[in-house]
Every structure is written in C-alpha cells, then in structure tokens.
Structure 1
Amino acid sequence: MQLRELGSSGLLVSPICLGSMTFGTPVGEADAIRLVHEAMDLGINFVDTANVYEGYDRYLGSPGGTAEEIVGKALKDRRDYAVLATKVCAPVGLGPQDRGLSASHILRELDNSLKRLQTDYIDLYIIHWPDKHTPLETTMAALNQAVQSGKVRYIGASNHSAAQLCEMLWLADKNGWPKVVSSQIPFSFLRREFHNDLPFCEKHSIGVTPYQALQGGLLTGKYHRGESAPAHSRAAEKPAWMWEFTDEVFDRVEGMAACAAEIGVPMAQYTLAWTLAQTAMSSLVVGAKRIEQVQDAIASLDVEIPAEHYEKLDTVSPPPWQQPDPIRS
C-alpha cells in the first residue's frame, strides 16, 4: 500500500484510516482489537479515535473513553507502527469544565487520553469541534503547550471551516506555534458543503481526512428506495445516526450506483475512490464492523474512475456554488 503525506507533518499515513467510533457497541472489545490487528496486517498504519467515542451507547454527559481504551489495548505491542489520532472538545460529563477547548479541558483530557491509550504521546491531537466560548488563541496556546511537553507530535482540526483554519494558521505564524496539519471534515458524495474549502487546504499543506465518506452505508448500495433497512445495518440499529431516506437522497445514491455499475465496480469501492480523488485528500477515515469492509476499502485504492464520470456525478450531486474564474468565464 502506497502511503501518503499527511499535510506538512512529514508523517506518512495509509490512504485508509481505521475509524473507531463504533468500538464498544456494536463492535465489542475482542472483535475491535482483532479488527485493528488485521487492518494493520493489511498495511493500514493510521488509526483514528476520540475521547468521547463509545459506540451506540453514548448519551449526553456520558464519560466516553471506551474506544480509546480498546485502541490502547490493540496497539499496546504495535505502537511504534501506528500513527495514532485522537480528539478533544465534546462533553465528557455534565459539568461546565467537562467540554470545550479551554486550556483546562484540553490538558486534562490529553492526560486522560494518554492513560486510556496506554501511550506517552499522541501523533495527531485533533480539536473535535469549534468552541464558540473559548478564543481560538487560547486553544492554540494550550495545543502549543501540549506539543512542547512532548505529549503531542502534531495538531489537527475537525469540523472546522477554511476561515477557522486560516485563523489557526495566522495564530501559529504570529506566535511561533505549531501549525495545524490536518482537517477532518464530513465529506461524501451526498454531503459536499466543505467542497470549496479543499483548495485552501491544498494551498496551505493541510491534509484532509474526511469521515462519513460512505454516509453511514447509504453509498454502499445496501439501502434501496422504498425498502426497509436491512437487519443489523446502522439504519436499523441506530437510525438517529442516519440521514432521512428521501427521494432526493436516493436520486443521488442511484446516480453513483449507475456509474459504479458502468465500470463493474462495487459501489462502496467506487465511492471511496471518488472521495480519495478529491483535492487535498490524505486519508479516508473508514469505520468497519468486519475485516471484509476494511478489505473492500483497501480495494478501492485500485479503482480507476473515468474522467468523464466526475463531470457526470457533479450534475447528480452538485458541489456548492463557486465564483466563476474571471479569466475563464
């Protein structure tokens, strides 16, 4: 598997990153550990988690930590071979200091994550969500402290716009702090609101690591217009995590399915290949219940999408409006 650069970090990561949001439930500890080991044996070296991940059992104010504990056990004897990412911001309790991007919360949760992950450093520490209550300069100062302590190697952002990334870069330049090297955004053929941010990331060497590329399985072909969700699917087990099954959604799903069928490729593989071909992509965060799903994701790396398909798909699921180039319009 050919590795890719993660932004300007110098880190080389597999183009498929194993996500762990469902570790705990429905993916139990033993199955999750086996999944991590088998994925690494196939060449995946990038593992993503978060302090709040605990699968379907998560509730408002729950302490989280389940997925990190599982990942820590899985990587205990393989730590040197893994690029490990985790996140901070979301609530881990009901108290006012149990959430957000204050220095207090970041540094406390960093130590908690290190304990659960059974490691003394995090390769990529990601601020999970924007925090409107904490100035970004305060957050960046805390992240700099984490890097200077040796507990964090690089910093990233998740669910942040290009404007917010720009402010992070400016603060880093102004203060001599580490720069953000990655942006983890929700991005798929069905969800393209961050599309216009991708050129900014490319220009400033920020590696994009999208999540929900398969949109909860909608872009795998397992769901069909007018039919009930299959047993044991996410839509059946955790419908709150799914998009509403509207005709507009299925118009787009069926458009992608038709293109995949045209070249004889499974829809999930085609979808991941399309996503990875977008601007500034470093690695796709892919969750899985079974190793076969990981193998399917890896197989997408060999899929070649005809050039004309990209324009065709843009008519089915248009990207956000872009200002015309005055030179070419």
Structure 2
Amino acid sequence: MEFRRLGGSGLKVPVLSFGAGTFGGRGPLFSGWGNTQVAQARELINIAVDAGAIMIDTADVYSDGASEEIVGAAIRGRRDQVLLSTKAGLPTGSGPADAGTSRSRLIGAVEAALRRLGTDHLDLFQVHGFDAATPVEEVLSTLQQLVQQGKLRYIGASNFAGWQLMKSLHASDDHGWPRYVGHQVYYSLVGRDYEAELMPLGLDQQVGALVWSPLAWGRLTGRIRRDHPIPPGSRLHTTAEFGPPVDDALLYAVVDVLLDIAEQTGRTVPQIALNWLIGRPTVASVIIGARDADQLRQNLGAVGWSLDPEHVRRLDEISYRVPPYPHFPYHRQEGFARLAPPLFPAVSSGAVQHRS
C-alpha cells in the first residue's frame, strides 16, 4: 500500500482508506447502504488493515452514531495500528443545538465520538459541512483548543465550497491556528466538478483530497450499463435520491470505456475507476466501502499497478465535461489558458468531441 502526506501536514495516509458508512444499518439512508454489525465489521477492518488500508473513516451521522460504536468495538486491540477519522457538524436531531459547528456542539461532538470509538484521540477530525451560522473563527479556535488538549491530531473539512475553505484557511493563518490539511470530497469518473476550483485550491494551499463515493454511489461497478437496468438488490433503488446526480448518457459512455479497458487488462471495472482516481492531482486517499469480504478484497486490488497512459487518456476524454463559468474560459480559450494553464490541457483544449 502506498502512503501519501495529507496536504501540507506530516500525516501519512494510505491511498486507499476504509469507509464505515455501511456499519449499523439505521435510518432511511444508511439502512440502504448496509447493515454490518460488529463481527463482520471486525472481519472487514482486519482485511483492510492487513492490506495497509489502515485509515478508518466514519461520522457521527452514520446510522445515528452506530457506525462509530461498531468501529470502536471492531478495532479493540488494534487501536495503535489504525488511523481513526470521523466527522461532525450535520444534524443529528431536530433541536437547535443538534446541528452545526458552534463551540458547544463541536466540543460535545468530539467527546461523544471519543466515547463511541473507545479512544482518547482522533487522528483526523473533519467538519462535515460548512456552518454559515457560526463564525469560522469560533469553529477554528475550538478545534485549536481540542488539538492542544490532545483529543485531535489533525483537522479537515468536508463538502466545502472553494470560498468557504479559503476563508477558513485564511483565518487559521491569520491567528496561527491549525489549518485544514484534508478536504473530504465527492470525486469520480462521472463526477469531476472537484477539478474546476477545489483541486487548484488544494494544490495552491496544500490541502489533500480524501475522496468519498469514488464509484459514484455504486454506479461504476460494471453492472449498470446500456440497456441494463439497475440490478435487484442495488442500494440505488432506495438511496439514489440522497447521492450525487449522474447523467445517464455520461454514465453509459464512461462504463463502455471501462468495460473495454477491463477486457484488455484483466482488471475489474471498480479497480480501474479507483486506480484512475489514485493518479489524480491532490488525491491523498480514496475511501472504499464494502458490504462483504469479497467486495473489499476486489476494491483493494486497485493498488499496486498503474493504468497505461493511453487508458488514462481515454478515460479522461470520455468523462470530461466543460466546467461552469467562471472556469470554462480558462479551459476553452487560449488567452485565459495562458494566464492559468489547465491541469489537463490535452482534454480541456477543446479538441475533444464531447458527448452531451
């Protein structure tokens, strides 16, 4: 397993991390993801850790805290062998104090996560979403306090817009507080919005990407393709409305290429989609989940090899979409591109015939 520094920090994380969103099975969303309990969770985590995927990612909203509880029970005896990553900030109840990242809520959320996970510190704590009602100075000074107390080692953000992340980084720099070193984001072959603004920001500010839903909510498994309906048992039947939207024409075009590359290489469609992500700028770790051991072992097979440049080019081209304003001039017009050359010039130059 390859390890990479998370952003500009000294924390080294595996390029594949294990996501525990399928643990617990509580609520309309997470019951559709999975219902993994302690015994199976321990088996899956042992497989992941033994393969080098030692960072375990969870959140307080995953199955109403049950995911954190199950992770804590599953790593008992192996705490010093793993990196624990969790998140807080999204609503966990209907009360006014049950959402956001105010000082009181952050302190309470961290204390609760430590109890559920059975540990005295978190290796990475991420603010799960930007709280527009709380000043960034309050959020970051609270995280500074928790870092000084030894309860948090590193901090990160999740699902922030570019201006929200930059405002937070500026406040940290201005006051000498810890910076967000990671940004947990959605990014996949059929969801490349991350590249327009957040990726250049990550490069400039040394913020590493931790990728969630790298297989686009289960769409990039190879089972969904042209003239093939969503198969029975797929979580998309019950959870699609919660996840990132994907245009069917784009999905089918990308899967066509993935299937062809899979036939040429002997790799699986998920392995190819994951390997493509691992090679992208700023990506520090790709978070994989699994309902069973076979699925996990298959996903872990995405490392230890690299796609051929021609395969990368084909995937880049078929998945590329012109970004929205104000980003598209820098991708499509020579004058703008001279000011800020695009990260993927061969794709974004306009020479590629894009499918609608």
Distance across 1 between alignment mates of 2:190 and 2:259: 13
Q: What SS does structure 2 have at the residue aligned with 1:208?
A: strand
Aligned residues of 2:190 and 2:246 also touching (Cα < 8 A): no
> Is residue 211 from structure 1 mapped to residue 212 from structure 2 by the alignment?
yes
- Kept in 1, the 8 Å contact 2:88–2:127? The answer is yes
Contact 2:24 2:35 (8 Å CA) reproduced = yes
- Count how many residue pairs are aligned between Structure 1 and Structure 2: 320
CA contact (8 A) 1:235 1:241 kept: no
Which consecutive residues of structure 1, in runs of 5 or more, have no partner in the other structure? 55-63
SS, match of residue 220 in structure 1: coil
The one-letter amino acid paired with 2:200 is P
CA distance in 1, matches of 2:162, 2:306: 29
One-letter amino acid of the structure 2 residue matched with residue 27 of structure 1: N
SS in 2 for 1:232: coil
Secondary structure of 1:230 counterpart: coil
Q: TM-score, normalised by structure 1?
A: 0.91
Per-residue Cα deviation, 1:34-84 (whole angstroms, up to 9, x for no partner): 211221122221100000101xxxxxxxxx100000011112211111111
Contact kept? 2:36, 2:291, Cα under 8 Å: no
Aligned twin of 2:56: 47
- Asked whether the equivalents of residues 190 and 250 of structure 2 are also in contact (C-alpha less than 8 Å), the reply is no
| Residue number in structure 2 paired with 1:28 | 36
Correspondences of 1:1-329 after superposition (within 5 Å): 1-25=1-25, 26-29=34-37, 30-54=39-63, 64-196=64-196, 197-236=198-237, 238-241=239-242, 243=245, 246-319=248-321, 320=323, 321=328, 323=330, 324-326=336-338
2-structure distance, mates of 1:248, 1:294: 26
Identity of aligned residues (%): 34
1:269–1:303 CA contact under 8 A, matched in 2: no
Q: Are the aligned partners of 1:270 and 1:303 in contact in 2 as well (CA < 8 Å)?
A: no
Instruction: Quote the Cα distance in structure 1 between the aligned partners of 2:186 and 2:155.
Output: 18
Report the CA distance shift for 1:256/1:304 in structure 2 as closer, same or farther (over 3 A): same
Following TM superposition, by how much is the alpha carbon of 1:241 offset from its aligned partner in structure 2, in angstroms?
4.1
Counterpart code for 2:282: A
Q: Supply the distance in 2 between the matched residues of 1:301 and 1:152 (Cα, whole angstroms).
A: 29
**SS where residue 292 of structure 1 aligns?**
helix
Give the Cα–Cα distance (whole angstroms) in 1 for the partners of residues 216 and 259 of structure 2. 14
Superposition RMSD in Å: 2.0
Paired with 1:35 and 1:108, the residues of 2 have a C-alpha distance of 29
Contact kept in structure 1, 2:217 and 2:240, CA below 8 Å: no
Say which is worse superposed, 220-229 or 279-288, in terms of deviation: 220-229
Q: Runs of 5+ in structure 2 lacking a partner?
A: 26-33, 331-335, 342-348, 350-356
Letter in 1 for 2:219: L
What is the CA–CA distance in structure 1 between the aligned matches of 2:221 and 2:68, rounded to whole Å? 27
Q: 1:178 and 1:288 mapped to 2: Cα distance?
A: 33
Distance 1:291 1:322 in 2: 46
